[in-house]
Structure 1
Amino acid sequence: MAGAGHTFSKGFSTNEDFDFEVRNVLGAAYSGAADVGEVLAAIDDVKPNDDRGWFKAWAELGDRVDGIADACDERHHTTSAAEARLRASMYYAVAVNAASALDSTDELADVFHKHRTAWDAFVDSTTRASVERVSIPYEQTTLPGYVFRPRGASGALPLLIGTNGSDGSLTAMWATCVFGALQRGYAVLVYDGPGQQSMLFDRATTFRPDWEAVLTPVLDFALGLEGVDRKRVAAYGISQAGYWVSRALAFEHRFAAAIVDPGVVDVSTSWTSHLPKSLIELLDKGEDAKFDRDMEFGLKFQKDAARQWAFRARPYGPLGYAETLAEVRKYTVADVASRITTPLLITSPEREQFWPGQSEQLAELTKSVSTLVPFTAAEGADFHCQPLARSLTDQRMFDWLDEKLEVQS
């Protein structure tokens, strides 16, 4: 028998990106959005630097599980089909992000639409909740959204509005937000904002730093929904939405409470922390042409980094290197966080790898209204958004929210 492997601390791959993605997916098993065995079997032979093999493993797993759903549908096993669609949508969503590392983006649109088709098939057939597809008025267009309600619920329900991160899927939101809320009797509204998922891939919209221009119309729409307690509406933001929700709360004060998972004060540090000091100096001096020249030269020899940059930069619009970072640098809440008056819970995981220390910074900026909740490696709850501890995260988040909204669950 082999000795102790320290799998949790060593990880599931020596490729840090692969390892973190596996942790996210395995954590989703808690909500039924993944099955541990089929995930580990699918990635078992993928080598750490095999980007094509990584994409292929997730895309083929999505196809296989979607095929299970088809077979269940043919035999009228509706619940089994819906559960398989949920898992397939998760695996396809991982393949969407995996496509960013490929030499060509030809497969991106196809696998994204497979993901969204599986997701919509799940929400149309699930017995876990009553689901309503909605179109949320936003400027001159609409945002696609989904309203989940506990089956058989009556009366005016507390409502949680979930905002996604920079590249998260709606299936991931099911695992990190919707599932736990439904268990506790909440209605939940999730949506694609500008630059996110279908709004990016199908409509070519871009992110915006002033998220109050997004969350306020979403809240206006939510307050008009039937069966919602207008006095008990809360906001939740995961990953980069830790910035977006915080920013919106500085201007939008109608929420009864809010959760950011984790706190994000300055989005740009997740970009600039990887750059040499010499390049940052060029950026700070406004020498954009020199910055772009040096970036282009450096990325010419780092194809993986170049592809990753292109994928991360796409939601900000067709900009040059310096222009992209100038735009990302607008995504800071440091100058407006003091305006937040909404009770705010901030998660703070040990070994946060994207915005280390920023949960504590946000808590300090909002100390009159905020509650900082640490998560540790000893609890199995480290890394960005506590991927392998979503049950524990739900317990702490929703116990706090229940108390703020006076919900008994």
Structure 2
Amino acid sequence: MTYVSADRAPGPSRRSALAGLVGGAAVLAGCTSPGAKPANAPTPSGARSPQSPADDPTPGVMTLFKEPAYNFSCLWALGGAGFSAAEVGEVLTAVNAVNKAGLSAQTYVKTFRELGDKVTGPPPGSKPDDQTTRFRALRAAQYYAQALFFVLGSDDPGSEEDLYKAGRGAWDRFCDLCDPAPVKANVPYGTTPLPVWFFRPDPSNTRRPTVILTNGSDGQNVDMWTYGVAAALDRGWNALVYDGPGQGQLLFVDQVVFTPTWEKVVGPLVDWLSERPDVDPSKIGLTGLSMAGDLAPRAAAFEDRIAALVAMPGCVEPWLGFPAEVREILTPSKEETNRIWNEEVVPALSPADAATMKKRIEPFSVPAMLAAREGRMFTDFYTPARRIQALTITDIVPRIKTPTLVLDYEDEQFYPGQAQQMFDALTAPKDYVKLTAAEGAQLHCSPMAPQVHCEVVFDWLQGTLG
């Protein structure tokens, strides 16, 4: 994105700089389904930034939609096909339907919600057995997640919780039909327990290495299947999936937002795992996907029972994932910050930009989430902005003593440079791997190459924990 210089008049600068944020890159990062590379984004005037086709991070058939936010999200779904979490033909047919109808939040949500409903049922001319029903449920969870990400910009933002529950129901149906089915439990955490799904390769009490899989700021459980569970089971490992504050059930139903003290989330999970006879408590790994590349390292800095850590990617300051013009709204004064937000910024936002801001802020503010479901813009920018700032771990990274793998991605569009910054600050045994376009693994979290992603991560975990 081409940013407007900070020395210009506050009103015009903010109004012009915030124009086209949805089409631009990452109004807010730390997620699994946002925009595309900043250099690809429209400038405030609407003209494209100079860039040769050879530099396009999603060339040719990788561009499913001209709008980068939708394109990135749909590439995420397409990549899940390698782990049976999508069907290539279903996704591409949905893409064609959306493009034919005209791309918008409404057409995207409607198309993928209907696809989720359809896949929940049997295939044509078939009496599905449990295996068919199982994987159709997994695909349905993916398609509901696609719709969920954009629902606040649709004609029915109030359906957000119901849409989440549809995806959660599909995920639970998939889990119930696994063999063995994952152990479902609620792990104590404050006044709101953490729902967990504990996957095992078999139901014996053999002690095994275990990986705790931490999702990002708006990922769903199906993403953890693609980015860890299937790979762990293939290697004879256990895998724990959970919803933490600001995620899944805790956000959409229990209305609990993110906390910066993620060690208080991971600690109870390690307690629960350590009591199980099928877990080797000396071989518990922790991964963090997307914004959890900040959360998991924070937890490992204070939870010394973690034996291996993977940040995917390394992230030390999620607040920098916002464009500079958004960050400049925040002042030391809550009153002044919210005046700027409500009087200068909000009136200039297009409906699409407004929907993006609602989505990006909701994991950090229950009032913002509830207002968005009613079709209104939140009025308190200051409080969630400070909450995001509190996730900064620049000074905490040197405290990590756990062997750590830091992943980075070519064309990383949300936290550029932060993976290297984390790696340089680590004092523990450490490795750094950058996944590139040569493997089709470019962009935040390698949405088109989760198999390559898991190969790198689990080869390292296997070598570290044995």
TM-score normalized by the length of structure 1: 0.91
What is the identity, as a one-letter code, of the residue corresponding to 1:102? S
SS at 2:188's partner residue?
A: strand
**Corresponding position: 1:351 with 2:411:** yes
- State the shift of 1:86 in Å: 0.6
**Contact 2:210–2:239, Cα closer than 8 Å, also in 1:** yes
**Contact 1:238–1:260, Cα closer than 8 Å, also in 2:** yes
**Corresponding position: 1:195 with 2:242:** no
What is the identity, as a one-letter code, of the residue corresponding to 2:224? M
C-alpha deviations, 1:252-297, integer Å up to 9, x for none?
A: 11111011111110011112x2526xx61x634x244333233233
**Contact 1:30–1:391, Cα closer than 8 Å, also in 2:** yes
* Structure 1 segment 284-295 matched on structure 2, within 5 A: 284=331, 286-295=332-341
Aligned with residue 89 of structure 2, among 27, 37, 50: 37
- State the shift of 1:70 in Å: 11
* CA–CA separation in structure 2 for the residues paired with 1:390 and 1:101: 28
Aligned pair in 2 of structure 1 residues 104, 274: CA closer, same or farther (>3 Å)? farther
- State the shift of 1:45 in Å: 3.1
* Structure 1 segment 1-400 matched on structure 2, within 5 A: 8-10=58-60, 11-47=63-99, 49-68=103-122, 75=127, 77-127=129-179, 129-151=180-202, 155-271=206-322, 273-275=323-325, 280=328, 283-284=330-331, 286-296=332-342, 297-300=344-347, 301-317=349-365, 318=367, 320-400=380-460
- State the shift of 1:151 in Å: 3.2
SS at 2:65's partner residue?
A: coil
Percent of matched pairs sharing the same residue: 33
- State the shift of 1:368 in Å: 3.7
- State the shift of 1:17 in Å: 0.8
Query: Which residue does 1:3 correspond to in 2?
Result: none
C-alpha deviations, 1:143-174, integer Å up to 9, x for none?
A: 11000011366621110011111110001111
- State the shift of 1:15 in Å: 0.6
SS at 1:275's partner residue?
A: helix
Aligned pair in 2 of structure 1 residues 368, 110: CA closer, same or farther (>3 Å)? closer
SS at 2:59's partner residue?
A: helix
C-alpha deviations, 1:156-212, integer Å up to 9, x for none?
A: 111001111111000111111111111111101111011211111111111101101
**Contact 1:69–1:81, Cα closer than 8 Å, also in 2:** no
Query: Which residue does 1:403 correspond to in 2?
Result: 463
SS at 1:106's partner residue?
A: helix
SS at 2:197's partner residue?
A: strand
* CA–CA separation in structure 1 for the residues paired with 2:162 and 2:210: 34
Aligned pair in 2 of structure 1 residues 153, 26: CA closer, same or farther (>3 Å)? farther
**Contact 1:263–1:358, Cα closer than 8 Å, also in 2:** yes
- State the shift of 1:389 in Å: 1.1
> Which shifted more, 209-218 or 300-309?
300-309
C-alpha deviations, 1:62-112, integer Å up to 9, x for none?
A: 01101227996xx46111111101100110111111202224422212211
* CA–CA separation in structure 1 for the residues paired with 2:57 and 2:319: 32
Query: Which residue does 2:15 correspond to in 1?
Result: none
**Contact 1:235–1:257, Cα closer than 8 Å, also in 2:** yes
* CA–CA separation in structure 2 for the residues paired with 1:321 and 1:161: 33
**Contact 1:83–1:126, Cα closer than 8 Å, also in 2:** no
- State the shift of 1:316 in Å: 1.4
* CA–CA separation in structure 1 for the residues paired with 2:149 and 2:359: 9
Q: Which has the higher contact order (CA 8 A, sep 6+)?
A: 2
Q: Which runs of 5+ in 1 are unaligned?
A: 1-5
Aligned pair in 2 of structure 1 residues 173, 201: CA closer, same or farther (>3 Å)? same
> Which shifted more, 44-53 or 161-170?
44-53
What is the identity, as a one-letter code, of the residue corresponding to 2:352? D
Aligned pair in 2 of structure 1 residues 362, 223: CA closer, same or farther (>3 Å)? same
What is the identity, as a one-letter code, of the residue corresponding to 1:9? P
- State the shift of 1:298 in Å: 2.5
